[in-house]
């Protein structure tokens, strides 16, 4: 692979031009929700999509699941792009590792990456096997290799083994998405004991550090690292103290690491979602009161669906974003930063 300081060849310029054109089309296609209105919109990539209509709206049914929760048991079931995402070859031949790839944002990224032409390895907790099997099947239906890597990221040895295992199974590694997270609602700092605090920091911060550090030596110039931060990094929720600490840490990690990795030709960015309808919310991430009105306080009056984030994760991994590094991309329905 050519170094980033070498002159662009005519072939590479054509690839980037093709990728940029394909990306524009993909952004129009990829985030359509699973409703009757959405089915009609899928027929035309140029049709405008009203962000206020055709998406599940609060109030939501009271519901709870034991941690870590399963997307398949949520009401309504989140839209990860299973029936709507259309690929355009933006990641053809790429090799991606995604933590938390069984459900929520990680699942949406896994589906999109596979349909854009990448082989995908997903990590998840053993309790999430049912969701993970569905994702593996979707990746394979897209004609790509799927690698399942169950295990707990709080175990340093397991976490640091993931990049090597993924690279061996797929024949390389050039995209890493550190996405897995723990979110638990607590009304007061007095309710958070050291065990709970450690669990959140190990899952959200330590695992990201271990994973990325182990992956970098395997990643060639042109690779991409994408981390999942949160609107809570900028506007912390009262009931998510420890979670907000970790998400602010992710933003700082990405901005600092991007400067280091520029010398290797590896881009590092983050996505900072607002309220998104994922198992995090129904498995202790929100109170029942907050869950029923989840997303209602955004200007769009609803939570986002994971499929609506997929185009951002594709962009940040693709060759269309060669000048994008150290950035945080927000998607919060009109509220918050960045």
Active-site hit among 85, 113, 124, 243? 243
Nearest to 329 by CA among 184, 260, 188, 231: 231
Per the structure block, which two tokens stand in for 328? 């945080």
118 and 96 Cβ atoms separated by less than 8 Å? yes
Identify whether the C-beta of residue 106 lies closer than 8 Å to the C-beta of residue 87: no
d(CA 291, CA 51): 21
Question: Which element (helix H / strand E) includes 88?
Answer: none
Among 195, 261, 253, residue whose Cα is nearest residue 224: 261
Residue 104: name the closest of 247, 323, 308 by CA: 308
Q: How many CA atoms, within 13 angstroms, populate the side-chain half-sphere of residue 240?
A: 26
Contact assessment for residue 230 and residue 273, using Cβ atoms and an 8 Å cutoff: yes
Of 193, 218, 203, nearest in space to 156 by CA: 203
Active site residue 243: yes
What kind and span of H or E run contains 36?
Answer: helix 36-41
Sheet with 224-228: list strands edge to edge: 146-150, 119-124, 95-99, 175-178, 224-228, 267-273, 328-331
How far apart CA 276 and CA 55 sit, in angstroms, is: 12
Segment (H or E) for 234:
none
Q: Are 1 and 221 in contact (CB under 8 A)?
A: yes
Which residues are annotated as catalytic?
A: 243
């Amino acid at each position: 692979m050519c170094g980033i300081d070498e002159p662009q060849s005519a072939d590479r310029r054509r690839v980037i031009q093709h990728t940029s054109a394909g990306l524009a089309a993909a952004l129009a296609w990829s985030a359509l929700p699973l409703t009757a209105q959405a089915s009609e919109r899928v027929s035309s990539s140029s049709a405008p999509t009203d962000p206020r209509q055709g998406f599940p709206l609060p109030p939501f049914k009271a519901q709870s699941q034991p941690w870590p929760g399963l997307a398949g048991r949520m009401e309504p079931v989140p839209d990860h792009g299973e029936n709507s995402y259309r690929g355009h070859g933006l990641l053809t031949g790429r090799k991606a590792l995604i933590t938390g790839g069984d459900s929520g944002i990680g699942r949406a990224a896994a589906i999109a990456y596979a349909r854009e032409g990448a082989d995908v390895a997903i990590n998840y907790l053993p309790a999430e096997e049912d969701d993970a099997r569905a994702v593996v099947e979707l990746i394979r239906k897209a004609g790509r290799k799927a690698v399942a890597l169950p295990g707990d990221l709080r175990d340093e040895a397991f976490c640091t083994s993931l990049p090597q295992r993924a690279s061996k199974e797929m024949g390389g590694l050039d995209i890493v998405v550190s996405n897995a997270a723990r979110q638990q609602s607590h009304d007061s700092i007095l309710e958070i004991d050291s065990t709970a605090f450690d669990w959140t920091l190990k899952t959200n911060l330590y695992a990201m550090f271990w994973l990325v550090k182990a992956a970098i030596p395997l990643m060639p110039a042109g690779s991409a690292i994408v981390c999942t931060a949160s609107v809570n990094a900028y506007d912390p929720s009262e009931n998510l103290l420890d979670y907000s600490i970790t998400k602010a840490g992710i933003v700082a990690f990405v901005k600092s690491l991007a400067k280091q990795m520029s010398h290797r030709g590896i881009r590092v960015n983050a996505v900072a979602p607002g309220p998104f309808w994922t198992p995090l919310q129904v498995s202790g991430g929100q109170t029942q009161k907050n869950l029923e009105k989840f997303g209602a306080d955004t200007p769009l009056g609803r939570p986002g669906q994971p499929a609506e984030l997929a185009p951002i994760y594709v962009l940040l991994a693709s060759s269309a974003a060669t000048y994008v590094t150290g950035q945080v991309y927000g998607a919060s329905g009109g509220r918050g930063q960045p």
